[in-house]
A = this chain, B = another copy of it.
Amino acid sequence: MSDDLQADGDETPRESLFEAPPMGEQERMVEAILFASAEPVSVRDLNDRMPHGCDAAEALVHLRKRYEGRGVQVTKVGDAWAIRTAGDLGFLMQRETVEQRKLSRAAIETLAIIAYHQPCTRAEIEEIRGVAVSRGTIDQLLEMEWIRFGRRRMTPGRPVTFVVTQGFLDHFGLESARDLPGLAELRAAGLLESRALPSGAPQLGEGDVDLDEETDEGQSELFED
């Protein structure tokens, strides 16, 4: 599967100011570090841990190819990397299966809204769901480390925003928030736009009302983090 890699992987002498180890060695190092960690490791951390002059990003390209089709996979999680078992082998892992926390419908929808609309204020979540978001729902998602606070919106009241985390991406096997299922279609259908509410329409939920002005900004900021 990776015969072509062997050639340039192991022996190619690389010119470097710092006499970095050969790429084959760097690949081994990345392999060892990713195997050792249960959490995704950023390219920056990889480079920090490897000897001076190493190029973890390049080593990762080789390593990822090497594990294509294998029982474990080199997966990208945001700007970090992790090794995870292949999805089709989950059936072997009953013993490792962790009890998934049961999420309420409200929590699942809130999570989806944040993921697809991030950064997203509480008022926006309430506007979309047409009902107040309970504190417990947000707290639960924060506690699971699937969402975190984003930047405050620069609108009156400076409301906080929520964005999804690396842990969220890791949990759902997403390389980035851009890879959310159906994202492109939803956007094309205009369903991710925050449309101005015609005056007189009922404002449901009781959130800090900051709906109208922020909409444009909200879009440009989308998926920035």
A224 at the interface (CB under 8 A from B): no
Least CB separation from A89: chain B residue? B32
Chain A interface residue number, banded:
20 to 34
Q: Is the CB of A36 within 8 A of B1?
A: no
A33 at the interface (CB under 8 A from B): yes
Which of B3, B27, B35 is A85 in contact with, Cβ under 8 Å? B35
Choose, from A91-99, A114-122, A196-204, the stretch at the interface.
A91-99
Alpha-carbon separation in the docked complex, A95 to B33 (Å): 10
Give every chain B residue within 8 A of A50 (Cβ-Cβ).
Answer: 92
Q: Is the CB of A33 within 8 A of B92?
A: yes
Q: Is the CB of A70 within 8 A of B1?
A: no
A184 at the interface (CB under 8 A from B): no
Q: Is the CB of A31 within 8 A of B72?
A: yes
Give every chain B residue within 8 A of A72 (Cβ-Cβ).
Answer: 31-32, 35
Alpha-carbon separation in the docked complex, A30 to B30 (Å): 22
Q: Is the CB of A70 within 8 A of B28?
A: yes
User: Known: A27-B71, A71-B28. Is A36-B93 also a contact (CB below 8 A)?
Assistant: yes
Give every chain B residue within 8 A of A28 (Cβ-Cβ).
Answer: 69-71, 86, 89
Distance in Å: Cβ of A46 to nearest Cβ of chain B:
9
Q: Is the CB of B29 within 8 A of A92?
A: yes
A49 at the interface (CB under 8 A from B): yes
Give every chain B residue within 8 A of A95 (Cβ-Cβ).
Answer: 37, 49
Least CB separation from A88: chain B residue? B28
> Which residues of A come within 8 Å of B, CB atoms?
1, 3, 6, 10, 27-33, 35-38, 49-50, 69-72, 83, 85-86, 89, 92-93, 95-96
